[in-house]
Structure 1
Amino acid sequence: MERNVATVIEKRNFSRVDFKKEVEIHVSGRKYSGFIENLSLKGAYIKTPHKLQAGDQVEIVIHLAGDDDFDIYLQGKTVRLTEDGAGILFEKLDLGSFSHLRNIIAYNYGDDDAVMEEFFNYHKGES
């Protein structure tokens, strides 16, 4: 992973980092390409030429390396639309994908403890 492609851009309920990576977007049985612009433990902004609709249920695949063991699989829905992309709220991910996602965000944010605290606070209802 290249550290120079990611910077912290905003503090919301979850630390959001600028992370540039090509992704697959699966919607209604079709596969489209897109490009992550930023990422958090709970969502991402993805640029894509395909016009997503509000509330679309999507599956996102982030290929981190040439090995499928490093892929991140996320299920979510579109919650914000722009002219060239969509904000995706993650609703489901497996433990391995969560671990890879957490590592990406903690590494690029620079504070593993803060990222985990945000996650635990969210699940305790404090966020």
Structure 2
Amino acid sequence: MKKTIFTVAAVSMLALSGISANELKTIETEATIEMVSPDDLSAFCKAVMQGDVDTVKKFIELGEDVNQKSLGKAPIHYAARYNKAEVLKVLIDNGADLKKRCDGGMTAMKYAELSHAKDAMAVLKAAMKK
């Protein structure tokens, strides 16, 4: 009797583990992760992200386009995302498009909201009223 119970238990364990192994094979992942090298980001957008107002002004003086995208986002998106209010003011004063959307479809205001960047939101709201 003990041998029969043990045999049935062993067969059941093998059968159940075989089913779950087959189920695991059919699971597909839909998420994709794209690794981006920091070197791919333009130097202008790096200065914006770091909040380096003087360097941003120098780039603009040298003819850098304030609406040129880098990695799918314009400099205004990076300034809003990282709450760089002073840089945001400089970009807006030099013709940055407040309604420009990134490749993902988001505006600078949306980046500021998602990042809880209160200073950047205040600058953007003031600029939109003008």
TM-score (norm 2): 0.32
TM-score (norm 1): 0.32
Q: Which of 1 and 2 has greater Rg?
A: 2
Q: Which has the higher strand share?
A: 1
Q: Which has the higher helix share?
A: 2
Highest relative contact order (Cα 8 Å, sep 6+), 1 or 2?
1
